[in-house]
Amino acid sequence: MEYRGYDSAGVAVLDGTIQVRKKAGKIANLDALLAQSPLPDTGTAIGHTRWATHGGPTDSNAHPHVSSDGRVALIHNGIIENFAALRAELQAQGIEFSSETDTEVAAQLLGVELAKGADLADGMRTVCRRLAGAFTLVAIDALQPGRLVAARRNSPLVVGVGDGENFVASDVAAFIEFTRSAIELGQDQLVDVTAESITVTDFFGGPAETHPFEVTWDTSAAEKGGYDWFMRKEIYEQPKAVADTLLGRYTPEGALTLDELRIPEAELRSVDKIIIVACGTAYYAGLVAKYAIEHWTRVPCEVEIASEFRYRDPIISPTTLVVTISQSGETADTLMAIRHAREQKAKVIAICNTNGATIPRESDAVIYTHAGPEIGVASTKGFLTQVAACYLLGLYLAQVRGAMFDDEIHNVMNELAATPPLIQEVLDRIGQIREVAARFVDTRSVLFLGRHVGYPVALEGALKLKELAYLHAEGFPAGELKHGPIALVEDQLPIFVVVPPQGRDQLHDKVVSNIQEVRARGALTIVLAEEGDVEVEPYADILFSLPKVSTLLQPLVATVPLQMFACELATLKGFDVDQPRNLAKSVTVE
Predicted confidence (pLDDT) per residue in 228-242, tens digit = 888 999 999 999 999
CB 349 within 8 A of CB 365: yes
Q: What span, in angstroms and rounded, lies between the C-alpha atoms of 451 and 121?
A: 56
Last residue of a domain, one of 215, 236, 254: 215
Q: What span, in angstroms and rounded, lies between the C-alpha atoms of 584 and 83?
A: 23
CB 513 within 8 A of CB 495: no
My answer on whether 331 and 467 are in the same domain is no
Say if 590 falls within a structural domain. no
CB 115 within 8 A of CB 71: yes
Helix axes 431-439, 555-572, angle to 10 degrees: 50
My answer on whether 145 and 11 are in the same domain is yes
Q: What span, in angstroms and rounded, lies between the C-alpha atoms of 448 and 553?
A: 19
Last residue of a domain, one of 189, 215, 241: 215
Predicted confidence (pLDDT) per residue in 202-220, tens digit = 999 999 988 888 887 665 5
My answer on whether 465 and 524 are in the same domain is yes
Q: What span, in angstroms and rounded, lies between the C-alpha atoms of 414 and 246?
A: 10
Say if 16 falls within a structural domain. yes
In order of 221, 355, 576, the CA distances from 27 in angstroms are: 21, 27, 14
Lowest mean pLDDT among 109-113, 168-172, 251-255: 251-255
Say if 439 falls within a structural domain. yes
My answer on whether 289 and 206 are in the same domain is no
My answer on whether 380 and 435 are in the same domain is no
CATH of the domain at 301: 3.40.50.10490
My answer on whether 250 and 320 are in the same domain is yes
My answer on whether 192 and 58 are in the same domain is yes
- Residue 410: partners with Cβ closer than 8 Å, 6 or more residues away: 254
My answer on whether 389 and 359 are in the same domain is yes
CB 210 within 8 A of CB 356: no
CB 63 within 8 A of CB 10: yes
Give me the domain span that covers residue 485: 427-572
Say if 580 falls within a structural domain. no
Residue 118's φ and ψ, nearest 5 degrees, are -70, 150
How buried is residue 361: exposed, middle or buried, by Cβ count under 10 Å (0-12/13-18/19+)?
A: middle
Q: What span, in angstroms and rounded, lies between the C-alpha atoms of 402 and 415?
A: 20
| Percentages of the chain per state (helix, strand, coil), in multiples of 5 | 40, 25, 40
**What does the pLDDT average to over 220-225?**
65
pTM for the complete prediction?
Answer: 0.73
My answer on whether 353 and 372 are in the same domain is yes
Say if 96 falls within a structural domain. yes
In order of 109, 430, 460, 577, the CA distances from 466 in angstroms are: 40, 21, 10, 12
Residue-level pLDDT at 453: 95
Say if 297 falls within a structural domain. yes
CB 310 within 8 A of CB 340: yes
Whether omega for the bond prior to residue 420 falls within 30 degrees of 0, making it cis, is no
My answer on whether 147 and 183 are in the same domain is yes
Say if 587 falls within a structural domain. no
Q: Is the pLDDT of residue 254 over 80?
A: no
Last residue of a domain, one of 399, 417, 435: 417
My answer on whether 132 and 241 are in the same domain is no
- Residue 15: partners with Cβ closer than 8 Å, 6 or more residues away: 39, 40, 42
End-to-end CA distance of the chain: 20
- Number of compact structural domains in the chain: 3
My answer on whether 279 and 247 are in the same domain is yes
Q: What span, in angstroms and rounded, lies between the C-alpha atoms of 448 and 220?
A: 36
Predicted confidence (pLDDT) per residue in 56-90, tens digit = 889 999 999 999 999 999 999 888 889 999 999 99
Q: What span, in angstroms and rounded, lies between the C-alpha atoms of 470 and 440?
A: 13
Element containing residue 150 per DSSP (H, E) = strand 148-153
Q: What span, in angstroms and rounded, lies between the C-alpha atoms of 48 and 30?
A: 11
Q: Is the pLDDT of residue 2 over 80?
A: no
**What does the pLDDT average to over 136-147?**
95
Predicted confidence (pLDDT) per residue in 345-404, tens digit = 999 999 998 877 888 888 999 998 988 888 888 899 999 999 999 999 999 999 999 999
Q: Of 347, 310, 355, which Cα lies nearest the Cα of 330?
A: 355
**What does the pLDDT average to over 19-45?**
92
Q: What span, in angstroms and rounded, lies between the C-alpha atoms of 304 and 266?
A: 26
Alpha helices (runs of H) in 418-530, residue ranges in sequence order:
419-428, 431-439, 454-469, 507-519
Residue 212's φ and ψ, nearest 5 degrees, are -70, 150
Say if 422 falls within a structural domain. no
Q: How many residues comprise the chain?
A: 590
Q: Of 291, 344, 350, 300, which Cα lies nearest the Cα of 324?
A: 350
